[in-house]
Chains A and B, each alone.
Chain A
C-alpha cells in the first residue's frame, strides 16, 4: 500500500486507492461495485489521500471505510453524518464521503439525515440501498416496500416504504443522484459530480443483496422477468430532464424544479430512473453561513487555530470578556 499522491509524471489510478486487505462481504455483493467506483472517483479527482475521510455507519456498508487508504472512520449505527459533520466543520479542507446503509441512514439515523439537510455542509453521502439489513440477516430496511417478503422475513412487510430521494430533497440536500452498483462506470461519474458539488450531496445506490434480498436481484434489475426483457434502470441523462437549479434562481424556478424532481423520484417498477435528479446551486453552504459570523473561519478553522504560544500560554485574550462582568 502506498500513500497516494499524484505527481507530474503519473496520474493516480483506482489502484492507488485500494488496500491489501481481504474483504469479507458476500460474493456478488453490490457493495463491491460501490467501493470500486469510489476508488476510481478518488483517482479521477486526484485527491490527496490524507485530505480524504471516508466515514461509515454500521452494517455491511459501514465496513466500506476499511477498503481505502485514506482516513477511514467506522462510526456508530446511524451516526455517520454527525461524525462526518464534526470532521468537516473542524477541518474544512478535507473531502468527506459518507458510506452508509438504508437502515443506518433512514432507520436509526433518520433524525441526523433530516437535520444534515438543513445545513448543506459540503460532503457526499453514498447511500447503500438494498432494502434489507444484511449483517443482522435480512430484516426489512425502511426502503423495503410494504407487502414484500424477502426470504428472511417470516411474513410480508407491514410497514411503509421511505423514498430516499424524496426524503433527501424535502430536507434540503442540494445534489441528489441515483446509481446502480452493477453499473460502476455511471456510479463513478455520479460520485465525481457529487464530490465536486459544493454542498451536501446524496447518492442513492440501488444494489442487490445476493444473500438476503431474493426479490430485487441482479436479474430483476436486468429486467429478465419483464416482457420487454429490457433493464429496469434508465438514465436521466438520456432524457431531456434537467436537474439544475441555477445560482440565484427565484422561488418559482425552485418550485418548478421540485415538481419535476418529484415526478421522477416517484417512478418505480418496470422503469426506474437513475442519474442526477437535482443539482441545486442556489442554496448557500454551511461554511458560507458560518463565515457570516466567524469571518476567518476558512483561514483559521477549528483545527488550525493557534491556541497556545510556545510556552503553552493561551492565546485567547479574555480581557474583553472579563470587562463585561468586571465590577471593581
Chain B
C-alpha cells in the first residue's frame, strides 16, 4: 500500500441497497454544507441512519471543503475513506476525490473542467499536484482533469457530466425567474441528481427542504422545482444501468434527531442547568457558544423562562476567569475552547483548583502544536488537560467519544464539578464537534442534577465561614457568594480554612491533602461504567485501548473482524482523571496483544496507562494528519497485527483526505 501517494487506498465498499457513502466537495462558501444538510436530512427523514464528516480549511471563501455522508439501514459510527458516489462543483474536488471513488461507483463532473491542467488548479496543494501528475504520467494519461476522469473510468467508475449552469438556466426559464436567483438551487440540484441516480424517493428531498427552510414557501417551491428538474434530467440523460447502486428508505419509525457534536454539548449544558458561559472565538469550539447564544432562552418545566447568559470575552484568560467568578455565586458555569485557548486558560484553572471552584471547561482538541491545524482533528491535548497548571490540584478529565456521550457527559460534567468542587475538563475533538449523526432523542430522564455540598450558613453564624475546613472526603460545604453569613476569602495563595492567605507549613499540608483527597473520593464514587466501557467480545484477548472519537471506527472494525470469526475488544477510557488504573490493571491482565489506538503522535493515553499501571501497549496505531480514522483502515491494520507484523508503531496515512 503506497500510502503516501495519490493512489486508490483500498477497494472495499460493497454494492448493496442498504447503504451509501456519498461525498460532496467544493470551494468554501459555495454551499457544500448546505448540500450536505439537504442530503443528510433527506436520508434521515427516510428512516436511514446518518453519519456526516465535515472537512474544511481555515479560510472563509475559496479553499476546498468536503463533506462525507454515510447513510445506512444499520447504525453507522464512522466515515468511509472511499465513497460510492461523488458530487463535485469544480476542478479541485474532482482532482482530489476522484481517486476515492470505488469500482462500481460514480461521480459527477462539470464539462468545462475537462481540459483543465492539474497544474493550474488554484488551491490544490503542491504536494497533491505533484503526486497526481506523477500518477497520471505513470499511466500515460494526460495531466488534465480529463486524465483524472479517464483513470476513474479505467477503474470502473461511472463518470456523469453535470452542467449545473445549464440546469440553472432551464430552471430560470421554467419558473420565469432570473438566473442569479435560480443559481441558488445549485446545491439542491446536485443533491437531487445524486439521490435520483440511486432512485431514492424524492418526497424525502422535498421534506428535507421544508426542514431547512421552515415556513419559507417561495424558497421551498423553487427548490422543489429544482429537485423535479434534477430527477427528470437524470432519467432522461444518464445511462444508469452500469451504476447498480440504489438506496431504499428504511421502514424504521424510530424517532431520530440529526445534529453535530457542538450542538450535542450545548444541549447537554442547557439540560444540566448551566446558566453562564463565557467564550472567546476559536475553531472548532465557537459553534457551541454561538448555538447557546442563539438558544439563550427556552421553556422550563416550572413555568419560568430558562436562560443561559453567554458572554463573548476579550480573550480566553478572561473567559476562564469570568466563568470561575460566576461559578462562585452558585451559577453553573462553563467556558468552551480549543487547544490554543486552553493554553491561555491555564492560570485560571489553577486558581479554580486551589479555590475549589466548580468550573467546567469544554476542550475541543484540534491539530497542534501552536496554531497547528486549526480546522482538523487530533487527540494531542490529553497531556495538557491532565497537567495544565503549575503545581498540583485535583481535576476531573472526562473524554467523550460520540454525540450521545457528548450530551450526557456535558451534563455530568457539572455534577462532577459541584460534587467535587473542582475543575472538570470535558475533552472532545474537532471530529466530534463537526460530525453529524442521527441519534435517538436525548433522554432528560437520565439526567439528575446534583449540586454537591452547599453550605447554609444562615442562622446566627458569626464571623467568617470556614469554607475550606478540612474533611475526610476533602469536600467542604460551599457558601455561595451573596449568601448571608457565608463570608470568607478566596485566594490563589495557599490559605487557611477561612480563605486567608498563609504560608504556614502545617496548614499548607492540611489544605493540599484536603484538596487532593477529593480525587480519591471521586475515584471511589464514580461508577466503573462511567470510567471506561468495553465493546466487542469482552472475553477476547486481542485488546484495543483507545479514547474519544476513534471509538466509532474501532467498533466497526471489530465488527468486521467478528464477521471473519476474529474476536477483539475495545476498552474505551472515559475518565482520564482520576485515572482508572486499578480497574484497567484487572481488565488488561488477559490482553494479548494490547494495542493503543490514538489520533496523536506518541500515544498519550498509552503513556498515561503505563505511568499509572506499568502496563505497556504492545502496539501503537496512530494517526496525526488531522483527519479522523476510518473503520476499514483500522480493520486492515488489526489484521496485519493478527498476522504477526513486527511493526510496533503503525501510522495510519491517507494522502487523499
- Selected contact of A82 from candidates B47, B299, B321, B488, CB within 8 Å: B321
Instruction: Give the most central of A55, A69, A86: most B CB within 10 Å.
Output: A86
Q: Please tell me if the beta carbons of B300 and A315 are within 8 angstroms of each other in the complex.
A: yes
Whole-angstrom CA separation of A18 from B307 in the bound complex: 38
Determine the chain A residues whose CB is within 8 A of the CB of B255 once the complex forms.
326, 328
Would A114 and B298 be within 8 Å (CB), given that A1-B463, A75-B321, A76-B492 are in contact?
A: no
Partner among B322, B328, B451, B486 whose Cβ is within 8 Å of the Cβ of A85: B322
CB within 8 Å of B: which of A8-53? 21, 48-51, 53
**Do A294 and B296 touch across chains, with their CB atoms under 8 A apart?**
yes
**Inter-chain contact A66/B484, CB cutoff 8 Å:** no
Closest to B255 in A: A328
CB distance from A16 to the nearest CB of B (A): 12
The listed residue (A50, A79, A296, A319) touching B348 by CB distance below 8 A is A79
Known A302-B309, A327-B256; 16 more pairs at CB < 8 Å:
A3-B463, A74-B501, A76-B492, A82-B325, A84-B325, A86-B321, A90-B331, A296-B305, A302-B333, A303-B480, A308-B449, A315-B300, A316-B298, A319-B299, A325-B263, A328-B254
List 6 A-B pairs, minimum CB-CB distance, nearest first. Answer: A86-B325, A307-B273, A302-B331, A82-B321, A302-B275, A115-B314
Partner of A296, one of B256, B307, B327: B307
Instruction: Tell me which residues across on chain A come within 8 A of B405, comparing CB atoms.
Output: none
Q: Which of A232-253 contact B (CB under 8 A)?
A: none
Interface residues of B in 250-269 (CB under 8 A from A): 252-259, 263, 267
Is A157 an interface residue when CB atoms closer than 8 A count as contact?
no
Instruction: Tell me the minimal C-beta distance from A170 to chain B in angstroms.
Output: 15
Q: Which of B60-68, B424-432, B436-444, B620-628 contacts A (4 or more CB under 8 A)?
A: B436-444
B500/A91 in contact, CB under 8 A: no
Encode contact with A along B64-99: 1 for CB under 8 Å, 0 otherwise: 000000000000000000000000000000000000
Q: Does B278 contact A (CB under 8 A)?
A: yes
Q: Which residues of A contact B315 (CB under 8 A)?
A: 111
Complex Cα distance, B301 from A55, in Å, reads 36
B347 & A76 in contact (Cβ 8 Å cutoff) = yes
Asked if A218 is an interface residue, CB under 8 A from chain B, the answer is no
Complex Cα–Cα for A93 and B211 (A): 43
Contacts of A328 in B (CB 8 A): 44-45, 47, 252-256
**Assuming the A-B contacts A293-B296, A326-B257, are A70 and B318 also in contact, with contact meaning beta carbons closer than 8 angstroms in the complex?**
no
CB of A65 within 8 A of chain B?
Answer: yes
Query: In residues 47-105 of chain A, which contact B (Cβ within 8 Å)?
Result: 48-51, 53, 55, 58, 63, 65-66, 69-76, 79, 81-87, 89-91, 93-94
- Indicate whether A79 sits within 8 Å of B442 (C-beta atoms), given known contacts A295-B305, A309-B302, A326-B255: no
Contacting residues, chain B, for A327 (C-beta < 8 A): 41, 44-45, 211, 256-258, 438
Q: Are B482 and A325 in contact (CB under 8 A)?
A: no
B351 at the interface (CB under 8 A from A): yes
A97 smallest CB distance to B (angstroms): 13
Given A89-B309, A290-B309, do A315 and B302 touch, yes or no (CB 8 Å)? yes
B507 at the interface (CB under 8 A from A): no
Distance between Cα atoms of A50 and B486 in the complex (Å):
7
What number of A-B contacts does a CB cutoff of 8 Å give? 269
> What A residues does B297 contact at CB under 8 A?
293-295
A58 to B492, CA, bound (A): 9
Chain A residues whose C-beta falls within 8 Å of the C-beta of B253 in the assembled complex: 328
Knowing A66-B500, A90-B331, the reply to whether A309 touches B270 (Cβ < 8 A) is no
Is B466 positioned at the interface, with any CB of A under 8 Å from its CB?
no
Identity of the chain A residue whose Cβ is nearest the Cβ of B41 in the assembled complex:
A327
Contacts of B321 in A (CB 8 A): 75-76, 79, 82-83, 86
Q: Are A321 and B333 in contact (CB under 8 A)?
A: no
A83 touches B450 (CB 8 A): no
Select which of A69, A86, A303 is within 8 A of B482 by beta carbon.
Answer: A303
Residues in A with CB closer than 8 Å to B314 are 111-112, 114-115
Q: What residues on B are CB-neighbors of A307 within 8 Å?
A: 272-273, 275, 306, 332, 449
- Shortest beta-carbon distance from B216 to chain A in Å: 15
Given the interface pairs A76-B321, A302-B333, A315-B306, the reply to whether A50 lies near B485 with Cβ below 8 Å is yes
| A residues in contact with B240, CB < 8 Å | none
Q: How long is the Cα–Cα vector from A301 to B333 in the complex, in angstroms?
A: 13
Are A308 and B273 in contact, CB atoms less than 8 angstroms apart? yes
For chain A residues 152-202, which have a beta carbon within 8 Å of chain B?
A: none
Answer whether residue A314 sits at the interface, using C-beta atoms and an 8 A cutoff: yes
B-chain residues with CB within 8 Å of residue A79 when the two chains form the complex? 317-318, 321, 347-348
User: How many A residues face the partner with a CB closer than 8 A?
Assistant: 70
Q: List 7 A-B contacts (CB under 8 A).
A: A21-B500, A72-B487, A86-B322, A112-B318, A290-B309, A294-B309, A303-B275
Picked from A86, A300, A309, A322, the residue with its CB within 8 Å of the CB of B278 is A86
CA distance A297 to B256 in the complex (A): 33
B524 at interface, CB cutoff 8 A: no
A320 interface residue, CB < 8 Å from B? yes
Instruction: Find the A residue at minimum CB distance from B258.
Output: A327
Q: Is the CB of B276 within 8 A of A75?
A: no
Cβ contacts under 8 Å, B330 to chain A:
90-91, 303
Query: Is A115 a contact partner of B275 (Cβ separation < 8 A)?
Result: no
Is the pair A320, B299 in contact by a Cβ cutoff of 8 Å? yes
Docked Cα-Cα span, A326 to B267, in Å, equals: 14
**Shortest Cβ distance from B492 into A: residue:** A76
**A2 interface contact, C-beta 8 A:** yes
B490 within 8 A of A: yes
User: When each residue 553-592 of chain B gets 1 if its CB lies under 8 Å from chain A and 0 otherwise, what string results?
Assistant: 0000000000000000000000000000000000000000
Q: Shortest distance in angstroms between B478's beta carbon and chain A's nearest beta carbon?
A: 13
- Return chain A residues, CB-CB under 8 Å to B331: 90-91, 301-303, 305
Known contacts A86-B278, A312-B449; A322 and B257 CB within 8 A of each other: yes
Contact A89 B257 (CB under 8 A): no
Q: In residues 439-474 of chain B, which contact A (Cβ within 8 Å)?
A: 441-442, 444-445, 447-451, 461-464
Q: Is the CB of A312 within 8 A of B257?
A: no
Expressed in whole angstroms, the Cα–Cα distance for A89 and B325 within the complex equals 9
In the bound assembly, the distance between CA atoms of A222 and B480 in angstroms comes to 45
A114 contacts across to B, CB distance below 8 A: 314
User: How many Å from the CB of B473 to the closest CB on chain A?
Assistant: 20
A-chain residues with CB within 8 Å of residue B254 when the two chains form the complex: 328
Residues of A within 8 A of B300 (CB): 306, 315-317
For residue B259, which residues in chain A have a CB less than 8 angstroms away from its CB? 325
Does A83 lie within 8 Å of B307, measured CB to CB?
Answer: no
Residues 237-253 of B, flagged 1 when their CB comes within 8 A of A and 0 if not, give 00000000000000011
CA distance A53 to B328 in the complex (A): 11
